[in-house]
Structure 1
Amino acid sequence: MADETSKNSLLKKIIAIILSFGPGIFAIGYTIGTGSVTSMIVAGSKFGMQLLWVLLLSCLFSGILMFAYGNFALITGETALYGFKKHLKFGKILAILIIIGVTFGQWNSLMGILGISSNIIFEILAINFESLVPYKYETVLLTAIIIITVFYLLMLVGKYTFFEKILVIFVTLMGVSFLISLFFVQPLPVDVIKGLIPTIPEVPGGKMLVAAFVGTTMAAATFLSRPLFIKGKGWTIKNLPQQKKDSITAAILIFVISGTIMAVACGALFHEGKVVTHVLDMANTLEPVAGKWAVTIFFFGALSAGLSSIFPCLLIAPLLIADYQSGELDTNSKQFRIITAVACLVALIGPIFGANPIEIQILSQVFNVFVLPIVILGIILMLKNKKVMKDYKTGLSIYIGLYAAFFFSLLISYNGIIALLDY
């Protein structure tokens, strides 16, 4: 009996830890969606662990940027774009460019996410009901319409805590599914060590994947939306230590989950010489070693990743516009409902045309890279403004991290342009 009580209290503690997660859960929701899962699996299947160094750098810089944007919000009480517009000389133009760039990238991403999630559900159904196979297009499209309608209706409930709880569930399911998958296929330790040495694969599509990697891991939307989510959480200047811990935890979790997905693909496919080009290939990642169960577990993780990204992607445009206008997000406003409805219709474009969602997904992640330098530059200028930051002094290590992130984002943007021209 005592044993059972201790088990229950341990379970309660774990649930409490998961639910106590702050705005960092949105960072994981934005960052690890099917875009990230797709990029990690394609990279793991094509290049093994060779791009692990890109993931490590991206997560390190992401943690610094989340911390910087979070501190700015707590000290000034302002949100990012509203602050840019108010305090920077060309802030208005900068903010409008950011809104257009991030919305374009995230809505493109939404198309891929919805396509992949619908395809995953179709594959699960097809395993059990073979008669559906000839009706793939119709089933995928109908599934996409049902998913996006359900999410739109959930959006209308519109409370920060509600979104947070749903995201916590999906992110937990995703993390657990991929960790279970890792037990079936472990990469060689030597592959992991080699992956930390900076190299770019000299093959067609290598540069594209590096850009997609950074676009999905250092997602501009993650940093820009952080001040609004911090406001939604009700945090004040007293929560500075909590904000720091939340940023670090989110960055570590993003690295661990993403690295796990890449390792699963490396262990299962890379040494077999198999490459992922379609959604079913992603499921086949584990079938040779663990049979149908592994496919189900892996699908479940990928589906949770997709569903955890739909909320943040639908939220991004109304978030940024509200941020620009006043720094306040009203989820009950007419503007919010109209913009999210348009996002839902855009999301259906991929499934309607029957496009390959994996290609859409990787392309959309590359587009996310181009807005990154101005998002980093914006926060550097805000932190250096003594009038805005009052008596708060940002540490030298944070500035070094931010300048390094800025230089890194310029390199990756250049790399992304070359990749798109090659494409």
Structure 2
Amino acid sequence: MDKPTASPSFLKKLLALVLAFGPGIFAIGYTIGTGSVTSMIVAGSTYGMQLLWVLLLSCIFSGVLIFTYGNFTLVTGETALYAFKKHLKWGKLIAILIIIGISFGQWNSLMGILGISANIIFEIFRIYFPSLEAYRYESVLLIAVVVIATMYRFLLVGKYAFFEKILVIFVTIMGLSFIISLFMVYPLPIEVVQGLIPSIPEVEGGQMMVAAFVGTTMAAATFLSRPLFVKGKGWTIENLGQQKKDAIIAACLVFIISAAVMAVASGALFHQGKPVTKVLEMVNTLEPIAGKFALTLFFFGTLSAGLSSIFPCLLIAPILLADYQSGELDTSSRQFKIITAFASLFALIVPLFGANPIEMQIVSQVFNVFVLPLVILGIILLVNNKNLMKEYKAGIWLNLGLFAALFFSCLISYNGVVALFDYF
């Protein structure tokens, strides 16, 4: 009599464990999208595991910054841009530049993300129903409209807990899909070890790819949105330990999932001499090696990456404005609904014109690194302000991590400038 209840009980516990994930789920949603997946696929198929060290460093510094921004809010009760404006000498100008820079980068990414996601859904159907190819443009556009309309409808629910649960579902599917794919197609262990030794591919586009990696993994939007999501979770200074654990888990999962994508592309395509520049090129290159099931699984992971990024990208502009204005996000406000509606329509540009978003996606990731030094410098000044932080003022180890992140971001920004000059 006890056996029938054992299984549901286990499933309920497993579901409760997954749904218990904190604000770090938004960090994963912002960081791993189709732009990130595209960068990992291009890097893995073109350079093997050579850029794994860039990913590792980016994830370590991301963890430090997610933790620092979260701690600042728990200690002071203030959010990032509001605190910049209030406490820093040039804070108002810095905050405005950050809002413009991040919104520009995220909305550009949003166009590509929706375009790629709609194409992926179409390709999944086309694998099993080849006759749909004759209606590619109409099908992709219709799918894009349905996807963005559904996401906008979810946003109108306006509850933090609901946003979190939707993202948990997408990120769980994404993570499992990529990790299971890795067991089917994987690189040689020696290549993974060699990839941890710093080096930049001495070929055209190598510097651009390094900057894109950092732009997509050390995403400024991730850190700036952290305070509002921490407050939305209802955490207080009593949750400092929980906040730290959440930041570490988020950074580790970003590395594991991103590295899995790179490894699948490296294992399947690098040694075949088949570099790809589009996610959708995986259809013709991965299927003969990994099979239809592995391909579908990988596509579902990529689709979940896209859907988990659309949600936060739609939220970013109203989040930053709310942060700057008052430090409180009102998801039922007219401002929130208008801005997210405009962003939803803006996202349809790529599907509407049938444009190829992949190259623009990588270039837009490069642009993201230019705001990053400002975002890191601002939080360094805040967490070292004894009047604000009191006994929680940043210690020597946290400062070492933050200044290392600042140096790394400046180095990558310079690299990004050189790469963009070469590109244009």
Q: Which TM class, normalised by the smaller chain length?
A: over 0.9
Alpha-carbon distance, 1:284 to partner: 4.1
Gaps in structure 2 of 5+ consecutive residues: none
Q: Does 1:187 align with 2:187?
A: yes
Q: Distance in 1 between matches of 2:276 and 2:267?
A: 13
**Partner Cα distance (2:65, 2:364) in 1:** 21
Which residue in the other structure is 2:41 paired with?
41
Cα distance in 2 for residues equivalent to 1:253 and 1:6: 30
* Aligned position for 1:135: 135
Match of 1:401 in 2: 401
| 1:351 has 2:347 as partner | no
Distance 1:239 1:142, change over 3 A: same
State whether residues 170 and 305 of structure 1, in contact with CA within 8 Å, keep that contact through their aligned partners in structure 2: yes
* Range with greater deviation from structure 2 (227-236 or 292-301): 292-301
Deviation of 1:8 after TM superposition, in Å, equals 4.5
Matched, 1:333 2:343: no
Change (3 A) 1:2 1:205: farther
Counterpart in 2 of 1:68? Answer: 68
In the alignment, is residue 90 of structure 1 matched against residue 90 of structure 2? yes
Asked whether the 8 Å contact 1:178–1:257 carries over to 2, the reply is: yes
**1:151 aligns to what?**
151
What is the distance in 1 between the residues matched to 2:243 and 2:259? 24
SS of equivalent residue, structure 1 residue 142: helix
What's the offset of the Cα at 1:130?
Answer: 2.5
Cα pair 1:119 1:279 within 8 Å, conserved: no
Residue aligned with 2:67, SS: helix
Q: Match for residue 210 of structure 2? A: 210
Tell me the equivalent position of 1:411.
411
Please state whether the residue corresponding to 1:391 is helix, strand or coil: helix
Query: 2-side partners of 1:248 and 1:402: how far apart?
Result: 15
Checking the alignment, whether the CA contact within 8 Å between 2:41 and 2:279 is kept in structure 1 is no
Query: Aligned letter for 1:399?
Result: N
In structure 2, what is the equivalent of residue 312 of structure 1?
A: 312
TM normalised by structure 1 equals 0.97
Q: How many residues align?
A: 423
For the aligned residue pairs, the C-alpha RMSD in angstroms reads: 1.4
Asked if structure 2 preserves the Cα contact closer than 8 Å seen for 1:184 and 1:289, the reply is: no
The percent of aligned pairs where both chains have the same amino acid is: 74
Q: Distance in 2 between matches of 1:10 and 1:377?
A: 46
Partner of 2:390: 390
The aligned counterpart of 1:29 is 29
One-letter amino acid of the counterpart of residue 149, structure 1: A
1:53 matched to 2:18? The reply is no
Asked if 2 retains the 8 angstrom alpha-carbon contact of 1:215 and 1:367, the reply is: yes
Deviation of 1:127 (Å): 2.2
Matches within 5 A, 1:154-303: 154-284=154-284, 286-303=286-303
* Shift of residue 416, structure 1, vs aligned partner: 0.8
- Asked whether the 8 Å contact 2:38–2:277 carries over to 1, the reply is no
Shift of 1:20: 1.0
Query: What is the identity, as a one-letter code, of the residue corresponding to 1:82?
Result: Y
Contact 1:111–1:346 at 8 Å: present in 2 too?
Answer: yes
Separation (CA, whole Å) in 2 of partners of 1:129 and 1:20 = 38
Gaps of 5+ in 1: none
TM-score normalized with structure 2 length = 0.97
CA distance in structure 1 between the partners assigned to 2:196 and 2:283 by the alignment = 27
Shift of 1:12: 3.2
Cα deviation code 1:249-297 (max 9, x no counterpart): 0000100000011000000000001011233213445312332111111
Counterpart of 1:395, as a letter, is G
Counterpart CA distance in 2 for 1:20 and 1:135 is 42
